[in-house]
Amino acid sequence: MYRGLTQLALDDVRGARLWIAYAKAMWDSDRFLLDARDAGRLISAWEALGHEPGEWGAGEVARLAPGR
């Protein structure tokens, strides 16, 4: 997640997309993975990349990295 947040802060949206999507997918599968502060950071980044909070990260990971 922090790698994606850093890339987003550096305006590297393309680089941030996969890392934020991967972190979102992990968090979607286990909501206890992040504390409230980090979950807020993740959701903010997710929205900044044009997604709705309820969208699943796994779908975005599959789209961005089909061979993964």
Residue 61 reports pLDDT greater than 80: yes
3-state secondary structure the chain: CHHHHHHHHCCCHHHHHHHHHHHHHHHHHCCCCCCHHHHHHHHHHHHHCCCCCCCCHHHHHHHHCCCC
pLDDT at 22: 96
pLDDT at 8: 97
pLDDT at 68: 54
Structure confidence by residue, pLDDT tens digits, 6-57: 999 999 999 999 999 999 999 999 999 999 999 999 999 999 999 998 888 9
Instruction: Spell out the domain ranges in the chain.
Output: 2-64
